[in-house]
Amino acid sequence: MAPISFMYNEDPHISTFQPSRSFISGGSTVSAHGVFLHLAHQPQMLITTQHGGKVLQVTCMQGKDNQVILCTTPSLKDLNLHPPVLTTISFVLDGIAYGQFQLIYVEDPRFEEFQKPTVTSKGNKNVVEIQVPRVDVDAVVQGEVLRVSNHSCEGVLLKGNTLECTLPTELQAGARELEVEWKQASSSVILGKVFLAQEQDYRALIGGVVSVSVLLLLLLALLAWRRKRKNIEDLAEGMVWYDGRAHIPHLDMLANARSISPTNEMVSHESVDYRTTLLEDQTLPLSQAAGPCRLPPYPHSDLSPMLSGGDPDLATPLLPSAVHIDISSLHPELLKEVQHDDVKLHCAVKSLNREYRIETRT
């Protein structure tokens, strides 16, 4: 017969446990910490009352950690004992009892004095708050008697008369109704219900607002650019450019009047654009400009018969092309009115006279 290998393991050992207090109706979760506890088969907890020597036995279970076993305290209400009740607990691992620890049973809280639970948001956590009368801190905080929708609280705090239960992560997501209960050995007390509102996601709303704002800014920028461009175009249309220099806009309108005026046939081939005359005269020396006005390339016709039917001033004939102008014989106010930088005094008078008669006629 082939030999069979056999291995001896270290004996399990329990070093600490909590809580040290439980409510008389039981339901508190006792956690025993030690080493090699995962090797024990069907661990048990024994509770012996110091008064009367009554022994109660509870089956435990392995915790998430291999070094922890979890047990639930039984109720002592059927023993007709008045709290506080002193008990001694021990743990049976593979038929051997380990540890001698003291556990005190305290009075149950007055659940009828509990206020309805509410839920508040603190940071990224949701916390259930309950206004309670005086309760045993150790039993309620470490005993895990407060549960929400069959889940243990992530953390329990007692601040004054406010009992706070931080909801576990698995209950944070989603909007639903949660039931708050107080666990006991054989039953539970329903404390109320809270509604966990789903957190609003404002990212889509913020993105939409930002997009609309950007579009509005782009539209305003486009309108401002088009308006500015139109102003520049309007300004450019009102300017007359010769030799890279801008001239006043009404000069161009006076010149264009010939194509519209009924007198176009009278002078279109015999008159000279006075703007060109002005430009050419600007290049002449002052002495030459002060002399008799130079002759235009085309002779002028006497138009006085055509203009004799209206205003006497309008009947004044246009200046003949061969007439020499004596500057000293002109009216001083007229010269003062048309002089331009003391240059081209007589030419300005002549040009103004001719163009003025045509413009007035139209």
Collect all residues with Cβ–Cβ distance below 8 Å to 320 and sequence separation of at least 6: 299, 300, 302
Q: How far is CA 282 from CA 255, 323, 327, 342, 347, in A?
A: 19, 22, 18, 11, 11
Q: 32 - beta bridge partners?
A: 17, 69
Tokens 């001896």 identify what position? 8
Collect all residues with Cβ–Cβ distance below 8 Å to 159 and sequence separation of at least 6: none
Identity of the residue numbered 298? Y
In a 13 Å sphere around the CA of 250, the CA atoms on its Cβ side amount to 4
Specify burial of residue 138 (Cβ count, 10 A radius: 0-12, 13-18, 19+): middle
Q: 177 - beta bridge partners?
A: 195
| CA 268 to the chain's CA centroid | 69
- How confident is the model over 48-63, as a mean pLDDT? 88
- Tell whether the model's pLDDT for residue 104 goes beyond 90: yes
Q: What is the pLDDT of residues 111-128, one digit of tens each?
A: 888 889 888 888 788 888
Identity of the residue numbered 322? A
Average pLDDT, the chain: 73
In which order are the strands placed within the sheet that holds 68-72?
13-18, 29-35, 68-72, 61-62
Whole-prediction pTM: 0.52
* Residue 35 near residue 10 (C-beta atoms within 8 A): yes
Q: What is the pLDDT of residues 198-238, one digit of tens each?
A: 555 567 778 888 889 999 999 999 898 888 888 777 666 65
- How confident is the model over 277-286, as a mean pLDDT? 47
Nearest alpha-carbon partner for 48 in 15, 74, 83: 74
Q: How far is CA 91 from CA 17, 47, 95, 97, 237, in A?
A: 11, 9, 9, 5, 105
- Tell whether the model's pLDDT for residue 36 goes beyond 60: yes
Q: 340 - beta bridge partners?
A: 343
